[in-house]
Amino acid sequence: MSKVDVRDIEINYHEEGTGFPLVLIHGLSGDQAGWVWVMPEFSKHYRTIAPDVRGHGDSGKPDMPYSIQQFSADLFALFQKLKIRQAHLLGFSMGAAIAQQFVLDHPERVKSLILVSTFSHTDVHLHKAFIRLRKSLDRGGYSTFFDEMVKLAFNPDFVTANTHFMEEVKARGIKINSPTAIAHATEACMKFNVKNRISQISVPTLIISGREDTFTPLAISEQIHQSIHSSQWKILEGVGHNIYIEKPAILAQAVLEFLGRQ
């Protein structure tokens, strides 16, 4: 792990491999460690960099309002610090919202875009989901937030088959997360809206969805697919929102096949 000063905070990041940069952006309440199942495969082919977003992991967690635009500005500053002129950008959920914002802000810095289980705005369904998550933090801190997130973001069959793993993930999340920072990040997600701007995205784009995703259902990805000209949309069967945890090998294969054509 390494840290660099980025704007008003320190950003923690993990880097493996050499070659053209591939930057991985985690989702709400996640961190760089969540990419552990795909990082080794990606790093065989690319200089793979996974930062902790502001308010997450071992990056700075200032008690202040956050926004997706702010996360994008942090990422641009990280690009400058790490001397990344251009990169493939892969974002998961909130991370893919950041990726959309980043490519709109800095299109020359992105060679291709991979959006996993994401959203371009918060419709009525997603707004209610974020409200549930935000209220859970007030009700019981990160522990209750995690329990609510599991209901929204995991395939129930996966949870049942991996109870010990889920307990470990929860324990680690309680240890590393600040409920205050996660609340700010949740509110940032609720305010995000580039629905009417994503048609401006012109870089090659792959959208990946889980058939069983009830947090960001297929209709949300379909809207993004229809808006971004010549984008590709891949739906994975038997998986929910957290594709990179539930089906990492299939995700890695889909991403590498797409990148290999760029």
Domain residues of the chain, as ranges? 2-260
Closest residue by Cα to residue 91 from 194, 9, 237? 194
Q: Which pLDDT value is given to residue 23?
A: 98
Q: Which pLDDT value is given to residue 1?
A: 79
Is 205 exposed, middle or buried (CB count within 10 Å of its CB: 0-12, 13-18, 19+)?
Answer: buried
Cβ-proximal residues to 92 (8 Å cutoff; 6+ apart), any chain: 24, 25, 26, 27, 30, 116, 117, 118, 243, 244
> Which helix H or strand E contains 5, and what residues bound it?
strand 2-6
Q: Which pLDDT value is given to residue 262?
A: 84
**Cα 234 to Cα 13: distance, rounded to the nearest angstrom:** 28
> What is the token pair recorded at 192?
């995000």
Q: Which pLDDT value is given to residue 64?
A: 97
User: Which residue stretches of the chain have pLDDT < 50?
Assistant: none
Q: Which pLDDT value is given to residue 142?
A: 96
Q: Which residue intervals of 114-178 are DSSP H helices?
A: 124-153, 156-161, 163-176
**Is 0.95 topped by the overall pTM?**
yes
Secondary structure (3-state) at 65: coil
**Cα 126 to Cα 139: distance, rounded to the nearest angstrom:** 20
**Cα 164 to Cα 224: distance, rounded to the nearest angstrom:** 36
What residues form DSSP beta bridges with 87?
110
CATH tag for 2-260 (out of 3.10.180.10, 3.40.50.1820, 1.10.287.110, 3.30.70.2660): 3.40.50.1820
